[in-house]
Chains A and B, each alone.
Chain A
Amino acid sequence: MGNVLKLANFKEVSTYMKENFDFTVVDEIIDELGATPSSIIAILQGVQEYYRYLPREIFSHMATRLGVSEARIYSVATFYENFSLEPKGKFVIKVCDGTACHVRKSIPILERLRSDLGLSAEKVTTDDLGFTVETVSCLGACGLAPVLTVNDKVYPSMTPDKASELINQLKEEL
């Protein structure tokens, strides 16, 4: 599961998926976690870690292997906030808007990130699949508020300017 798929844009991703969806990875994940309905969430988490989102192609495959309806899998995938049916960027930035961060001004940071990357509340991922910007209710790092995370790495005591700087650094790593 170590490698992450590298594709340049939305169009490329969807063509790739339609033409050559390879279920080896999904099967490996299912085998590891067990083909039972109680593993649905863990399997979806594994799939999302690899593809950075949930390709729709997997639903029917999972349904057959787990012996449940496709609707059951789809219902779980759409219920939980962390699952995404759209491809996400290489860098997923989560801005904490929990109470502690909110009262220490997290919204201006979110606004700066969105304006720097040309994103909004509706459009969360850049076209080059470089960045995804979303909010999270609380990261539990309230002592360092306001915080954000980039792919699970916590950045403490942020300001809009520090956020811009961070984006510039990350752009070089794209």
Chain B
Amino acid sequence: MLHNRKDLQNARRAYIDSLEKETKKILVCAGTGCVSSGSLVIYDRLKSLMQERNIACSVELEKDPHDDSVGIKKSGCHGFCEMGPLIRIEPQGWLYVKVKEEDCEEIIEKTILNGDHIERLAYQKSGGFCKKQDDIPFYKKQTRLVLEHCGQIDATSIKEYLAVGGYSALEKALFEMTGDEIIDEITESNLRGRGGGGFATGRKWAQVRQQNELEKYVVCNGDEGDPGAFMDRSIMEGDPHRMLEGMMIAGLSCGASEGYIYVRAEYPMAVSRLKTAIAQATDAGILGDNILGTDFSFHLHINRGAGAFVCGEGSALTASIEGKRGMPRVKPPRTVEHGLFDKPTVLNNVETYANVPLIINNGAEWYKNIGPENSPGTKAFALTGNIVNTGLIEVPMGTTLREVIFDIGGGMRDDGEFKAVQIGGPSGGCLTKEHLDLPLDFDSLKKAGAMIGSGGLVVLDDKTCMVEVARFFMNFTQNESCGKCVPCREGTKRMLAILERIVNGQGEDGDIDLLLELADTISATALCGLGKTAALPVVSTINSFRDEYEAHIYEKRCPAGACQKLKKIVIDEALCKGCSKCAKACPVTAISGKIKEPFIIDQKKCIKCGACVSTCPFHAIKED
């Protein structure tokens, strides 16, 4: 238990010393991605191998460790999930990828005991391999500040967090700054909310501080529901204390002593890591009553979501914490005035809070030097879709799409051609080739008709149908509409019906105009952010790919060849030997013909299932 500032500093010094005594370290990635590809088995194997060989190994930092012991840790997500399980070797900074249980013995023998690099486990690229993690192109162009600890320290240890300077921002805020000074620093840094809207964080905090109420709340939105986004998950799993520290500083500056973290039900590991972190911080006296001997008290609670996307919206989220249906309400009054339990509430997302300790430690001036003036700092993006390197990345705001996709992402997968990138999930839009040199920041994306959202970047290749993508998002929004306001409840349903007609080959003249008209009405009249932005994927795909919509409607053709119902399956007479295999495979008896003569597909009967295509031994059946 740490009773005052001196205790904290002494403890930190002791942990720094013991961290330094671990001259060699193995960090096994224990993020959701690597765990599912078997990293925990590897962790156990490495540990037992070291015990068998009597190698002194330390799992946890102690105040008096063995000299030269080998640290073996479970780290947070490195972001390179596709290459998992990942193992980082310290002090060399080597990264081993796709490690298997069988490799463990060699790792101990060669790398740990002899300090030799194992080439076959390194990341391979054309013309060689990358020894160090920092040499891998995926990492080289990144600036990892918010994610700096993810993959580098033990995610389940407050001791390691302290040893790398954790809770020093809280220390500074508690003992050297007033509430106003904290808020001034955050305002000066121009930190903007990472959850989507990009609202100035400092202004939000100042408004809550001004409220003349005894009870105030700090709420963290960890309901990262955008399909294709997992930045917040990685922070909660990989560096949970960082986020808690940010929340505590928010509480300190606004005069709140209770905090709530709302986490999606789909993130069980994040919930358990946060619980561990809260328990550790409470035991250490960093969280709870009279923190480090001051009169500041702060308590944290975790609320698990129950599967409602709309709860990512502020007023729906607070309703859900109160144990109600997660439905948004009309604003104003805003959350800063009447939020959780009707009290003034600071509501930010995970990544925003994780930025706070950086700003307090290094100052607003330092922070403003990263990225463009109006959107300073870095942004984490989840890079997914038809791209070579999928994973979690962090780049300075203002980095271009081209750098993200081609330098970090390694370009398109399976030699596909870049077509578009869907940014910001179901509330976002798509960016095309002409936007490749657009800097990624709040303002320039807004101008381009998209939004940063929470930061999901789904890369689409030329085989992806944009009408189908729009339908997919509309289907999502329609499912998730809470049903409170008519424009969203009914409007999204009608838009979805039209889009379904179009991809099924029943589009009619005038459908595009109808979609745009509905989009306009919904955006103007819906109650909350979910409804207001619901039509954005449709509008932005119409703007950029109107010709694809027209091909579906007027020519009953899908230019990308993706829409099943619009496919035409034909038999090449020159190649068909008349063996009748296809006719037997057809579930609707659409294929007929005489043996040893070319067969024919009755297009009216054909349901385009493709069963015949795969059965033909002569590859005579093709999708047109």
Contacts and interface: CB of A to CB of B under 8 A. Distances in A.
B274 interface: no
Interface in B201-248: 224-230, 233
Nearest to A77: B306
Interface string B447-478: 00000000010101000100001001100100
Contacts of B225: 137-138
Interface of B: 32-33, 35-37, 79-82, 84, 224-230, 233, 264-268, 303-309, 320-327, 382, 384-386, 390-392, 422, 425, 456, 458, 460, 464, 469, 472-473, 476, 479-480, 482
Contacts of A152: 268
A36 B392 CA distance: 39
A75 B325 contact: yes
B223 to A, nearest CB: 11
Interface in A35-62: 36-42, 44-45
A153 B227 CA distance: 19
Interface residues of A, number: 40
A41 B82 contact: no
B303 A140 contact: no
Contacts of B456: 99, 142
Given A82-B306, A140-B230, A142-B382, 4 more contacts: A42-B304, A45-B304, A143-B33, A144-B82
A85 interface: no
A1 interface: no
A100 interface: yes
B309 A137 contact: yes
A10 to B, nearest CB: 23
A112 interface: no
Contacts of A154: 32-33, 35-36
A31 B33 CA distance: 36
A143 B36 contact: no
Given A102-B472, A103-B460, A154-B32, A143 B384 contact: yes
Nearest to A101: B227
A98 interface: yes
Contacts of B422: 99
Contacts of B79: 143
Contact of A99 (B84, B323, B472): B472
A142 B79 CA distance: 11
Contacts of A104: 385-386
Given A38-B323, A42-B304, A141-B81, A100 B268 contact: no
16 contacts: A39-B323, A41-B320, A76-B324, A79-B326, A102-B472, A103-B385, A103-B464, A104-B385, A137-B476, A141-B36, A142-B228, A143-B33, A143-B382, A144-B84, A154-B35, A156-B33
